[in-house]
Homo-oligomer: A and B are copies of this chain.
Amino acid sequence: MTAHRLAMLGTGLIGHFYTVTLHGQRGRDTVHVVYSRSEDRAAAFAAEHGIPIGTTKLEEAIAHPDVDAVLVGLPNHLHEDAIALCARHGKPVLCTKPLARNGEEAKRILDTVEQAGIFAGYLEDLVYTPKTLKAVAAVQAGQIGEVTWARSRETHPGPHSAWFWDAAQAGGGAIVDLGCHCIEIIRSFVGKENRPVEAFCWADTLVHPIEAEDNAIALIRFESGAIGQFEVSWTFRGGMDLRDEVAGTEGTIWTNHFLRTGFELFSTGEGGGYVAEKSETVSGWLFPVGDELSELGYVDMFTDMLDALDHGHEPTETFYDGYVVNAVMDACYASARSGRWEPVQLADWRGGSVPRIARERRQHDGHTLIKEERMPDGRLKLILKDERTGEFADVVRDA
Contact = CB atoms under 8 A, between A and B. Distances in A.
Interface string A115-156: 000000000000001110111001001111100110100010
Contacts of A267: 138, 143-144, 250-251
Nearest to A219: B202
A353 interface: no
A263 B131 contact: yes
B256 A262 contact: yes
Interface string A100-125: 00000000000000000000000000
A340 to B, nearest CB: 4
A60 to B, nearest CB: 25
A199 to B, nearest CB: 11
A285 B287 contact: yes
A347 interface: no
A24 B261 CA distance: 23
B207 A249 contact: yes
Interface residues of A, number: 131
Contact of A204 (B225, B257, B307, B378): B225
A288 interface: yes
Interface string A250-275: 11111111001111111111111110
B378 A274 contact: yes
A49 interface: no
Contacts of A288: 131, 134, 138
Contacts of A157: 371, 373
A179 interface: no
Contacts of A284: 280-281, 283-286
Given A26-B306, A302-B26, A306-B26, A208 B370 contact: yes
9 contacts: A134-B288, A143-B271, A144-B266, A145-B268, A160-B371, A206-B225, A237-B252, A252-B265, A254-B264
Given A209-B361, A250-B269, A251-B267, 19 more contacts: A1-B28, A24-B303, A26-B307, A27-B28, A130-B291, A131-B262, A138-B271, A141-B271, A144-B237, A145-B270, A148-B235, A149-B233, A159-B371, A165-B370, A236-B247, A252-B265, A253-B265, A262-B262, A291-B294
